């Protein structure tokens, strides 16, 4: 008992420490007054981090964050950002400088810009994501530190900015560590750098930092009415602020006043027949205006319900089969981190060509453009944090890191109608410590957002004589029981037809991964590894096998497109690509694409 208490105490301290140095993130940033710092940034590769640690030797002079220049001819300054090369930000460094293709370490980035802050306004410095560990400086002074490669963060830099020329310097380090989230092993490329937008955001001293607007599913649907619920959160605990919620198309115009915790909430009944629900067939979103003290935040919000009933997933009260596909956040052509509506539109259009109504954005929160483009296109989303494989389950800092990434993923996308599942893990080995870690994450996710389903990708404990059994203690903490299986690829090749399944949980089941590899253009017998025919046959046999699983609610086969991975080194076939894509890394369809497309057409 004492040990547990000690761990719990450490955990609490850990959470305090890791989260304390970061501010809650501001939501819906593109609707705010922004000044983009995207563009060409100078960069210095600092393998031994001399620009960070050596300044202790000479605390007044050293440190790349000072952007120091020689004052006298004899001055020695051994770096100069202005003489350094530049790269496009946002963008990973691996695909912009051949010297950095495999690089894992520190790169310093610098951007100088003219800025004229308006008095009596605050200025936030926002990053859509930096992989993995970022120290941010403005005009030589520390703005803040953030860890986590796929979630947004911002710092209030009002006091650090000058009127006129300013300099932002960021130390980015993508080295992997066992105590990180993800850990030091994962099957995707460790793209480093400032991989998403960098913005200055001008806000009033008191502003609406975040909000939720959705159908309250806890309230029994009164005959013919939905209950719509709106919560607004100021950036500070301030009472008496008047917030206006307007949805012009629905003739909704409500005023609400914040209480002393800086929050305001409102619930109202709305006639069901006047509300077009969001769905894949009709991805209806409404213009929403949220005003405070003369400033208006505009968003596009869809309304829908998502719930489970036994083994069914119900969207807007009707059972839906999730015809999905898994996707990594890589550009459709040539690889590298994707971060645009155009990239997302191409990948999601390929998913639509497959007949998908659902995508699993693996294995980390994708950029906001992708989630919003999927919402516009009518594609449901499974969004997940990279609690992947062998996480340091008993390390309090690891837990607070995962806790923070989960919070920031939910806070950023909690108003996206198409996001229906938050996933807290992928293929994590069973243990009491893992169950403790994940059950806390599941409870935390539910405490932040009880309007969506919680899941995680489990592993099948395959039994003997072709009987596959799913047994995972986490079944009681999730709404949807999902698991990955690689029959036909990693095991039981050609035995898919003999397989039977035992999934003893009265909850919806999603097969969150199945599939196999093929090199595009390589043809041969269907038992010849890496041929398109092998992959085609594997999909045919798996789809037939899956059809025998009663009560299946959906699948997200692995994976839409070949993607880079340092673990896939087979020369001439993989060449540092995971070849399980239905599309090649050049966007060419493999034969298995047509098998899955036909299978989905029959669903
Ligand atoms: C695992 C894992 C994926 C990985 C895939 C594979 O299940 O979840 O991230 O890429 O299998 O082996 O290709």
Query: Does some domain include residue 99?
Result: yes
Interstrand relation of 380-384 and 358-361 (parallel, antiparallel or unpaired): parallel
> Which of 163, 118, 120, 119 lies closest to 139, judged by CA?
163
580 within ligand 1 shell (Cβ under 6 A): yes
**Claim to verify: residue 260 and residue 400 sit in the same structural domain:** no
280 C-alpha to ligand 1 centroid (Å): 28
User: Residue 358 belongs to what H/E stretch?
Assistant: strand 358-361
Query: Does some domain include residue 299?
Result: no
**Claim to verify: residue 73 and residue 170 sit in the same structural domain:** yes
CATH number for the domain spanning 231: value is 2.60.40
In this prediction, residue 213 carries a pLDDT of 98
Compute the mean pLDDT over every residue in the chain, rounded to the nearest whole number: 94
Q: Give the pLDDT band of residue 168 (cuts 50, 70, 90).
A: very high
Query: Does some domain include residue 263?
Result: yes
Chain segment 257-315, per-residue pLDDT in tens: 999 999 999 999 999 999 999 999 999 999 999 999 999 999 999 999 999 999 999 99
Average of per-residue pLDDT across 366-385: 98
CATH number for the domain spanning 32: value is 2.60.120.260
**Among residues 266, 292, 318, which one ends one of the domains?**
292
Q: Whose CA is nearest to atom 7 of ligand 1?
A: 484
Q: Give the pLDDT band of residue 58 (cuts 50, 70, 90).
A: low
Query: Does some domain include residue 303?
Result: no
Q: Give the pLDDT band of residue 180 (cuts 50, 70, 90).
A: very high
**Claim to verify: residue 39 and residue 148 sit in the same structural domain:** yes
**Claim to verify: residue 141 and residue 237 sit in the same structural domain:** no
Atom index in ligand 1 nearest the CA of residue 426 equals 8
> Which of 424, 428, 419, 417 lies closest to 443, judged by CA?
424
Q: Higher confidence at residue 292 or residue 4? A: 292
In this prediction, residue 22 carries a pLDDT of 56
513 within ligand 1 shell (Cβ under 6 A): yes
Average of per-residue pLDDT across 149-159: 97
**Claim to verify: residue 326 and residue 402 sit in the same structural domain:** yes
In this prediction, residue 1 carries a pLDDT of 47
Is residue 17 scored above 50 in pLDDT?
Answer: no
CATH number for the domain spanning 462: value is 3.20.20.80
520 C-alpha to ligand 1 centroid (Å): 19
Provide the number of structural domains found in the chain.
Answer: 3
**Claim to verify: residue 285 and residue 318 sit in the same structural domain:** no
3-class state of residue 380 by DSSP? strand
Query: Does some domain include residue 538?
Result: yes
Is residue 15 scored above 60 in pLDDT?
Answer: no
**Claim to verify: residue 165 and residue 218 sit in the same structural domain:** no
**Claim to verify: residue 238 and residue 287 sit in the same structural domain:** yes
Query: Does some domain include residue 73?
Result: yes
Average of per-residue pLDDT across 360-389: 98
**Claim to verify: residue 198 and residue 222 sit in the same structural domain:** no
Q: Give the pLDDT band of residue 12 (cuts 50, 70, 90).
A: very low
Q: Higher confidence at residue 134 or residue 52? A: 134
Strand segments, DSSP code E, in 464-598 are 467-469, 481-484, 500-502, 509-513, 552-555, 563-564, 577-578
Average of per-residue pLDDT across 231-251: 98
426 within ligand 1 shell (Cβ under 6 A): yes
Is residue 586 scored above 50 in pLDDT?
Answer: yes
484 within ligand 1 shell (Cβ under 6 A): yes
Atom index in ligand 1 nearest the CA of residue 457 equals 8
**Claim to verify: residue 195 and residue 215 sit in the same structural domain:** no
pTM of this structure? 0.95
Q: Higher confidence at residue 2 or residue 69? A: 69
Is residue 327 scored above 50 in pLDDT?
Answer: yes
187 C-alpha to ligand 1 centroid (Å): 6
**Claim to verify: residue 68 and residue 109 sit in the same structural domain:** yes
Average of per-residue pLDDT across 595-599: 98
**Among residues 155, 171, 203, which one ends one of the domains?**
203
In this prediction, residue 57 carries a pLDDT of 65
In this prediction, residue 268 carries a pLDDT of 95
**Claim to verify: residue 144 and residue 179 sit in the same structural domain:** yes
For residue 232, the enclosing domain spans 208-292
CB of 238 closer than 8 Å to CB of 275? no
Query: Does some domain include residue 297?
Result: no
In this prediction, residue 2 carries a pLDDT of 52
**Among residues 143, 172, 203, which one ends one of the domains?**
203
Query: Does some domain include residue 301?
Result: no
Q: Whose CA is nearest to atom 12 of ligand 1?
A: 187
Q: Give the pLDDT band of residue 463 (cuts 50, 70, 90).
A: low
Atom index in ligand 1 nearest the CA of residue 515 equals 13
């Amino acid at each position: 008992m004492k040990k547990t208490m000690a761990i719990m105490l450490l955990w609490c301290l850990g959470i305090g420490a890791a989260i304390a140095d970061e501010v809650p993130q501001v939501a819906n940033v593109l609707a705010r007054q922004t000044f983009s710092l995207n563009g060409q940034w100078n960069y210095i590769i600092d393998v031994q981090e001399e620009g960070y640690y050596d300044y202790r030797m000479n605390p007044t002079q050293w440190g790349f964050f000072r952007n120091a220049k020689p004052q006298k001819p004899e001055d020695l300054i051994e770096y100069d950002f202005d003489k350094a090369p530049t790269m496009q930000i946002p963008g990973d460094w691996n695909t912009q400088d051949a010297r950095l293709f495999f690089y894992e370490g520190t790169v310093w980035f610098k951007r100088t810009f003219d800025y004229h802050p308006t008095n009596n306004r605050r200025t936030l410095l926002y990053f859509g994501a930096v992989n993995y560990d970022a120290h941010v400086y403005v005009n030589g002074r520390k703005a803040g530190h953030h860890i986590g490669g796929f979630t947004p963060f911002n710092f209030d830099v009002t006091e650090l900015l000058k009127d006129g020329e300013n300099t932002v310097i960021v130390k980015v380090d993508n080295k992997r560590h066992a105590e990180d989230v993800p850990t030091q092993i994962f099957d995707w490329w460790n793209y480093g750098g400032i991989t998403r937008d960098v913005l200055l955001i001008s806000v009033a001293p008191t502003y609406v930092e975040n909000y939720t607007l959705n159908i309250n599913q806890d309230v029994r649907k009164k005959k013919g009415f939905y209950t719509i619920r709106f919560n607004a959160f100021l950036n500070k605990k301030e009472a008496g602020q008047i917030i206006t919620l307007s949805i012009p198309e629905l003739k909704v115009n409500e005023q609400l006043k914040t209480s002393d915790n800086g929050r305001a909430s409102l619930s109202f009944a709305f006639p069901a027949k006047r509300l077009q629900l969001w769905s894949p067939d009709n991805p209806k979103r409404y213009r929403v205006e949220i005003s405070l003290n003369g400033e208006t935040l505009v968003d596009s919000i869809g309304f829908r319900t998502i719930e489970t009933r036994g083994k069914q997933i119900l969207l807007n009260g009707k059972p839906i089969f999730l015809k999905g596909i898994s996707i990594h956040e890589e550009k459709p052509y040539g690889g590298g981190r994707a971060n645009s509506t155009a990239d997302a539109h191409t990948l999601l259009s390929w998913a639509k060509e497959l007949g998908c109504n659902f995508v699993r954005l693996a294995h980390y929160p994708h950029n906001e453009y992708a989630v919003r483009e999927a919402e516009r296109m009518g594609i449901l989303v499974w969004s997940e944090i990279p609690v992947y494989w062998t996480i340091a389950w008993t390390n309090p800092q690891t837990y607070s890191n995962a806790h923070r990434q989960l919070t920031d993923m939910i806070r950023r996308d909690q108003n996206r109608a198409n996001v229906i599942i938050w996933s807290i893990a992928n293929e994590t080995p069973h243990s009491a410590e893992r169950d403790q870690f994940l059950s806390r994450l599941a409870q935390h996710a539910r405490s932040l957002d009880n309007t969506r389903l919680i899941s995680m990708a489990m592993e099948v404990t395959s039994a003997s004589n072709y009987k596959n059994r799913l047994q995972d203690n986490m079944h009681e903490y999730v709404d949807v029981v999902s698991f990955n299986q690689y029959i036909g690829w990693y095991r039981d090749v050609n035995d898919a037809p003999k397989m039977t399944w035992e999934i003893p949980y009265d909850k919806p089941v999603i097969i969150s991964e199945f599939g196999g590899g093929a090199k595009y253009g390589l043809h041969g017998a269907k038992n010849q590894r890496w041929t398109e025919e092998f992959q085609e046959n594997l999909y045919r046999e798996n789809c037939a096998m899956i059809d025998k699983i009663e009560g299946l609610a959906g699948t997200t086969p692995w994976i839409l497109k070949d993607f880079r991975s340092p673990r896939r080194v087979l020369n001439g076939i993989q060449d540092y690509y995971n070849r399980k894509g239905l599309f090649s890394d050049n966007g060419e369809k493999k034969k298995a694409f047509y098998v899955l497309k036909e299978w989905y057409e029959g669903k």
